[in-house]
A and B are shown apart, each in its own frame.
Chain A
């Protein structure tokens, strides 16, 4: 199989895997226990957290580990809502399900949610956002920084300028951002950010919530005193150490990896152009620096995306069709609907997401397979 679904999850790196196993073996104690084994685990946990924070440009006092990126986003959104129930939360229609469903929860609880429109490339309309901030008492603006379906990168500086001006907090879902850029969270001025280890070659089941002020939200999970009482539960030390190793490798190699990724992406689009396949790139143009270059969401004209993904799988390619289950119906992606992808292409849209590990030969094989399937008519609408 050739894997083109890195935005869904990345395989754990060898270094992270080794670190995970070694930590399981060497640190059996509960970090909260006051005996030799526990103290050893606590020291390892603290040192690891400090290094993770340093790699993200913040301090260990401004982050907690969570069970996932989704938990991090839920904590930020619901945590701020429960602190300021009478205020408005602002988001967009192109969010990850973790944000989409968290604000749906807020609405169901009687909270006020406003939606900032996005343009046809998925960029938040900052003029519209300013109007909302002017007219409503907004507690939190929650926006996906690097869109998981179309790769759009929001303008952090513009968003932060507005939220700061109007006294709102800013949460960015940065789950897809980490493997593709260096971050300095403290310098960014944002108030919350969500991360997930398995998007950057770390283990599944571990995420991070960054926060500027730990008193700005109420925890989701109550219990022990872990994570400044902001997320109870015994720390998953092995996963956290593996996250650290994966993050360290990612940060150290980000520039070289991005160069390789851009080259592959350009090669993919050139190969599609040469193949004669009728396609539409959903989201920002590939030349734009305001996008992730490893996510290519492509609509194929008058093609059934689900069938195309199935046929690709039969030929040995893992891709994502980007639709979702919703009450016994397969729904088109809310992100693609949110950016008004042309009718001829939306049903045939596939998300290809790759890493620096793939080769031009892999891409060529993929394009050959696409041409074979599309020309056969097996995936036609």
Chain B
């Protein structure tokens, strides 16, 4: 079953859907692109690859926690790439 992610901030749902389409920080994408490809202007295919790397990191955080809900503020260094307020809650479904 395809996994989905829900980002909530208070009562507001900031995002719900495919983890690959989570809002990622532009600077984080650029930095990751420099790290992986030495390229500060990645094409869309390279951006997609970077998004998958980010999602893999996010999934590993959920797996390490053993819970389906985490708080961004508890993992702000690991999940630095997510473009959401620090007190955002993330849920993984599926």
Contact = CB atoms under 8 A, between A and B. Distances in A.
A binds B: yes
A314 interface: yes
B81 to A, nearest CB: 16
Interface in A296-329: 306-307, 310, 314, 323-325, 328-329
Interface string B1-25: 1110000000000000000100000
A377 B2 contact: yes
Interface in A329-379: 329-330, 377-378
A377 B94 contact: yes
A380 interface: yes
A316 to B, nearest CB: 15
A381 interface: yes
Contacts of B73: none
B2 A328 contact: no
Interface residues of A, number: 14
Given A314-B56, A325-B43, A380 B2 contact: yes
Contacts of B20: 307
A325 B49 contact: no
A330 B1 contact: no
Contacts of B52: 306-307, 310
Contact of A324 (B2, B3, B45, B49): B45
A314 B48 CA distance: 15
A329 B48 CA distance: 10
A314 B52 CA distance: 11
A329 B45 CA distance: 8
- Main secondary structure, interface of B, reads helix
Contacts of B56: 314
B10 to A, nearest CB: 31
Nearest to A377: B1
B8 to A, nearest CB: 24
B1 A310 contact: no
A325 B49 CA distance: 12
Contacts of B3: 377-378
Contact of B48 (A330, A378, A380, A381): A330
A330 B94 CA distance: 26
Contact of A325 (B1, B45, B94): B45
Given A307-B52, A310-B52, A314-B56, A380 B1 contact: yes
Nearest to B46: A325
A137 B67 CA distance: 69
Contacts of B49: 310
Given A314-B56, A377-B94, A330 B45 contact: yes
Contacts of A314: 56
Interface in B36-94: 43-45, 48-49, 52, 56, 94
B4 to A, nearest CB: 11
A381 B45 contact: no
Contacts of B1: 377, 380
A306 B44 CA distance: 12
A328 B45 CA distance: 9
B51 to A, nearest CB: 10
A156 to B, nearest CB: 34
A310 B59 CA distance: 15
Contacts of A328: 44
Contact of B2 (A306, A310, A325, A381): A381
A239 to B, nearest CB: 25
Nearest to B43: A325
A330 B44 contact: yes
Contacts of B43: 325
B2 A323 contact: no
14 contacts: A306-B45, A307-B20, A310-B52, A314-B56, A323-B45, A325-B43, A325-B44, A330-B44, A330-B48, A377-B1, A377-B2, A377-B94, A378-B3, A380-B1
Interface of A: 306-307, 310, 314, 323-325, 328-330, 377-378, 380-381
Given A310-B49, A378-B3, 18 more contacts: A306-B45, A306-B48, A306-B52, A307-B20, A307-B52, A310-B52, A314-B56, A323-B45, A324-B45, A325-B44, A328-B44, A330-B44, A330-B45, A330-B48, A377-B2, A377-B3, A377-B94, A380-B2
Q: Please name the 5 residue pairs, one residue from A and one from B, whose CB atoms are nearest each other, closest first.
A: A325-B43, A380-B2, A377-B1, A310-B52, A325-B44
